[in-house]
Amino acid sequence: MTPIQETIINKKTTNTPIWLMRQAGRYLPEFREIRKLNPNFINLCLNENLSSEITLQPLRRFNLDAAIIFSDILMIPYGLNQKVEFKKDFGPQLGLLDLDIISKVDEIDFIEKLYPVYKSIKKVSENNLIKNKNLIGFVGAPWTILVYMINKHSPKKHLIKNFFKDEFLINRVLIILEKFLKLHIDQQIKNGATVIQIFDSWAGLLEEKDLPNYIYIPTLNLVDYVKSLNIPVICFPRGLKDYINYCDIVKPDVVNIDYDVNPISICKKINIPVQGGLDPKILLTDKENLKKEAIKYLEIFKDHPYIFNLGHGVLPETKPDMVDYLVKIVKDY
């Protein structure tokens, strides 16, 4: 068993494993070098030689317990033939959402379009660097993908006006997303992903009353699906006020907490393994402070199954040396 499986399945609380969201990315000079020559982000994700290499880059440097496949949650609208572009210093920009177009996509078209992602997973899974480690596949939660498909870019603090106006459209898109997210999960697992993480980055935008329809039910359907394939599933409902209720209803194998969550109260009240929490901005401070903050999480979770990670992705300004130091702190604890 891998260290992460020991934590999730055997509920082991010693030798805390570690991996980091966005561990492959702009803070690594070797990534920036490839990125410079590949200005089109989607095409980079669809280049299986480069995307598999980028996935492995952090493992060449640091003693991490998992790789996460270099791709994006927005490969789903892309696979459904909605236009997706990544603009420098702006982020994702999607084209018009046309129900007629996305309804016409079938499983074969979709798999064909995303085929390089699956081939990349296969390549990574066959690499020696991943031995006794996990390869994390992922999807965006239906809600977060819906946000991008309708809102067309990252919402700053709130959604566009009239977001919920077209109920028919929203319900149809959620049905389509469920089908293709399951397919995407299935293909990732078939090609070597050994854990699935579900990112719900915009969970925090919803009011309490809307959580069942847009978060609990659609996510539970995916969680049950991953479990039926005998693969552990980690959920990250970023910004949610009530992680406890979420865990009671959605029942992921592991929950990733964001940095606004009080780790002490979560540790007391949640009986499933926990992942993450440390504010990525701590990696921009100094080693002494990083050590203090990392040890804080390790101490709080010392008798609770815990996978070390952050409360959101590694920031582009992070020095690789700080990541190296963090991994060493966790491994030496």
Say how far residue 174 (Cα) sits from the centre of its chain.
Answer: 19
Which position among 313, 320, 331, 333 is part of the footprint of ligand CP3 (CB under 6 A)? 313
Q: Compare residues 57 and 267 and give the one whose CB is closer to ligand CP3.
A: 57
Rule CB under 6 A: which of 235-294 touch ligand CP3? none
Q: Compare residues 42 and 244 and give the one whose CB is closer to ligand CP3.
A: 42
Burial of 41 (0-12, 13-18, 19+ CB in 10 A): middle
Rule CB under 6 A: which of 89-128 touch ligand CP3? 91-92
C-alpha distances (whole Å) from 246 to each of 112, 197, 243, 322 are 35, 15, 5, 33
Which position among 6, 30, 34, 35 is part of the footprint of ligand CP3 (CB under 6 A)? 35
Strands 134-140 and 91-94: unpaired
Q: Dihedrals φ, ψ of 102, to 5°?
A: -70, -25
Q: Compare residues 26 and 61 and give the one whose CB is closer to ligand CP3.
A: 26
Q: Residue 45: name the closest of 15, 17, 73 by CA.
A: 73
Per-residue binder mask for ligand CP3 (CB under 6 A), 191-230, x = binder = --------x-x-----------------------------
Q: How many residues bind ligand CP3 (CB under 6 A)?
A: 22
Decide: is 138 part of the binding site for ligand CP3 (CB under 6 A): yes
Strands (E), 155-268: 195-199, 233-236, 254-256
Decide: is 72 part of the binding site for ligand CP3 (CB under 6 A): yes
User: For ligand CP3, which stretch binds (CB under 6 A), given 21-29, 165-173, 213-221, 239-247?
Assistant: 21-29
User: For ligand CP3, which stretch binds (CB under 6 A), given 8-16, 19-27, 212-220, 291-299?
Assistant: 19-27
CA-angle at 197, arms to 325 and 124, nearest 5°: 70
Shortest distance, CB of residue 58 to ligand CP3, whole angstroms?
8
| CB proximity list for 217: less than 8 A, separation 6 or greater | none
